[in-house]
Structure 1
Amino acid sequence: MIVCEFSVVPLGAGESLSEQVAKCLKIVQESGLPYQLTPMGTILEGEWDEVFKVIKRCRDELRKGFKRVLITIRLDDRQAPPGRLQAKVRSVEEKLDRM
């Protein structure tokens, strides 16, 4: 199971990317994988092949309108049960409550 933060940025899209982000987020939602949208990217949780299939679909969608796409990927690959996306945040928040 991996937790993956990624961003897909079409170069030449101008200042606002909300339309392109929405297209990619639709693909993420259709995947059924747990996700969290952030101001700088999207975090996905799933098996390696599932996650990279989503990223490839996002890339393919944006390549329809742009010749160049910048993709940034950060991974946490850990043998652990599903649910880490929420559990990692909850763990920090619990520690914060104890401070």
Structure 2
Amino acid sequence: MSVLLEFSMFPTSDNCRDGSSVSKQVAKIVDAIDKSGVAYQLTPMGTVVETNTMREALDIIELAYEQVSGCDRVYSSLKFDIRKNTKNRLTSKIKSIETQLKREVQK
């Protein structure tokens, strides 16, 4: 099974912000994900991770929250794409689109 999870998480409270920036807190989250060994891709608007189970995906959310748990208020948005009998969709989905684009250019 492949569980793709796209999420964003950041503090909204003044006690964890540097002016309008939350990059210091987000960097803590990304560092923890990196150290976890889970496949991930950072994007400008969030992070995408791929796990083998829903439990592992939810554990990543808990890990991320632990990095900002000292903040008075934290915002998070989550999206899941769960598919049985497949793996490595973090890269294979992109490769599929790139293949389609090459076909269109060759036409």
- Counterpart among 37, 55, 65 of residue 59 in structure 1: 65
**Equivalent residue of 1:49, what SS?**
helix
Amino acid at match of 1:90: K
Whole-Å separation in 1 of the counterparts to 2:78 and 2:59:
13
> Which stretches of structure 1, 4 residues or more, deviate above 6 A after TM superposition?
none
Whole-Å separation in 2 of the counterparts to 1:37 and 1:63:
21
Amino acid at match of 1:92: I
**Equivalent residue of 2:78, what SS?**
strand
Normalised by the size of structure 1, how large is the TM-score? 0.92
Identity of paired residues, percent?
Answer: 36
Larger CA Rg, structure 1 vs 2: 2
- Counterpart among 9, 23, 40 of residue 35 in structure 1: 40
User: How big is the alpha-carbon RMSD for the aligned residues of Structure 1 and Structure 2?
Assistant: 1.1
Residue equivalent to 1:11: 12
Structure 2: segments with no counterpart, 5+ residues = none
Residue equivalent to 1:79: 84
Amino acid at match of 1:54: I
Residue equivalent to 1:94: 99
Whole-Å separation in 2 of the counterparts to 1:40 and 1:78:
23
Q: What number of residue pairs does the alignment pair up?
A: 98
Structure 1: segments with no counterpart, 5+ residues = none
